[in-house]
Amino acid sequence: MDRNLDLFERSKRTIPGGVNSPVRAFKAVGGTPRFVQRAQGAYCWDANGQRYIDYIGSWGPMILGHGHPEVLAAVQSALGEGFSFGAPTEREVELAEAIVEHVPSMDMVRLVSSGTEAGMSALRLARGYTGRNKIIKFEGCYHGHADALLVKAGSGLATFGHPTSAGVPADVVKDTLVLTYNDVEGIHAAFDQYGSEIACVMIEPIAGNMNFVRASVPFMSACRELCTQHGALLILDEVMSGFRVDLGSAQALYAQAIPGFQPDLTALGKVIGGGMPLAAFGGRREVMEQLAPLGPVYQAGTLSGNPVATACGLATLRAIAKPGFFDALAAQTKRLVDGVVQAGRDAGVAVCGDCQGGMFGLFLLPELPQNYGQVMTSSNEQFNRFFHGMLDRGIYLAPALYEAGFVSGAHSDADIDATVAAAREVFASF
Ligand code: HOZ
């Protein structure tokens, strides 16, 4: 008897595709999704009681591992005080202060409930602030499922081969210019043609919906300079990379390479909620002051700044800010990526990988891709064999080759060694 299969059959009767977010359905890789019953530390257990080393980590938020004692205590205590008030709380101020302390480009921050809301609201704010309509995004970058941004996104959309979604009117995306990631000439050409009409450039600095592709320093530098020259805003979508690749997020790494580098706005999510529905957008004070109730750009939410979610996020940020946390996490992640890449190469399989902090990407390609077109040259069939081989050995990776992986502070040396050993067995059968 397979409880995962039974549950999947049952869920498909009432939930479209049996899932509440498409990539969970295993459509890209085939087979039965694992219905997770519980999770603790670096592990999760499915409905059959099978244990997995979890490298999805709720798609990024679980940077401390599941059920971290300090986070659990904070959530339990908050629950006793009430689930939701729809009124301001001291804790949301503390969380906002913690965010701006670590991300200096953010003078002010507004808390919302999902990464989609954060990206969508940042975009509206950029348009409201500049009084312009056109926006630039890059092929393969995913900024949530708001209409205007659902054009040539990676992730689940790439998996299903839809360049965009049905239900998005052509008129809504007519001002969305889609350029090639890491193409410096392309962004110059776009600003040459439309410079005075562009409200913002929105970009994932490390594109986690193309698995793991970094914006090169010259490319990020060109994005920044062109936005400044033409009066457009640079929005970094750090929903995935924020507080995940570094305590200061990916922008801190670019600031090391590009003197004075700062985005105008940032979208955050995932880690800042520690596993609860919480996200944020923020940036320069004069831009943020355009938001209602101070300014004319409307944005609101009943569950925004929810007291249980903010307790979870705050406890998570406090734990990851402890000295040495990110060094240890980065070292563990690198050990994983180096080990799996070596295992592939020893077996004569073309595999490469990259990582930063607790986020990683593995590609069944000889060289790291720089853009979506190059990511797409990867073989789905080979990835699926790798994915299922690993799953059969108790290693839970994202069920799509377009998704990044995540290591947590709870992954031990033994977990990494077991993962590399599993990869060796799988590659040997290629
Ligand atoms: N937005 C995630 C993919 N990058 C999917 C999240 C989920 O299915 O939970």
Q: What is the pLDDT of residues 363-412, one digit of tens each?
A: 999 999 999 999 999 999 999 999 999 999 999 999 999 999 999 999 99
Q: pLDDT band for position 155 (50/70/90)?
A: low
Cα of 21 to ligand 1 centre, how many Å? 6
Strand order in the sheet with 43-46: 36-40, 43-46, 51-54, 395-396
The atom of ligand 1 lying closest to the CA of 208 is 4
Interval 279-334: pLDDT, tens = 999 999 999 999 999 999 999 999 999 999 999 999 999 999 999 999 999 999 99
According to the model, what pLDDT value does residue 165 have? 84
Interval 159-177: pLDDT, tens = 444 446 888 888 888 899 9
**Residue 156 predicted with pLDDT over 60:** no
Q: What is the dihedral of CA 203, 208, 212, 214, to 10 degrees?
A: 20
Instruction: Write down the mean pLDDT value for the chain.
Output: 95
Decide: 23 in ligand 1 pocket, CB within 6 A.
yes
Decide: 59 in ligand 1 pocket, CB within 6 A.
yes
The pLDDT > 90 percentage for the chain reads 93
**Residue 157 predicted with pLDDT over 80:** no
Instruction: Return the active site residues.
Output: 142, 237, 270
The atom of ligand 1 lying closest to the CA of 154 is 4
Decide: 403 in ligand 1 pocket, CB within 6 A.
yes
Which CA distances in Å does 207 have to 198, 221, 252, 302? 22, 16, 16, 30
State the Cα–Cα distance between residues 290 and 126, nearest whole angstrom. Answer: 9
According to the model, what pLDDT value does residue 159 have? 47
Decide: 281 in ligand 1 pocket, CB within 6 A.
no
Decide: 270 in ligand 1 pocket, CB within 6 A.
no
Helices 184-194 + 217-230 axis angle, to 10: 10
Decide: 141 in ligand 1 pocket, CB within 6 A.
no
According to the model, what pLDDT value does residue 160 have? 46
Ligand 1 pocket: which of 15, 20, 23, 27 to mutate (most atoms <8 Å of CB)?
23
The atom of ligand 1 lying closest to the CA of 209 is 4
Determine which residue's CA is closest to atom 8 belonging to ligand 1: 21
53, exposed or middle or buried, with CB in 10 Å at 0-12, 13-18, 19+?
buried
The pLDDT > 70 percentage for the chain reads 97
According to the model, what pLDDT value does residue 172 have? 84
According to the model, what pLDDT value does residue 2 have? 97
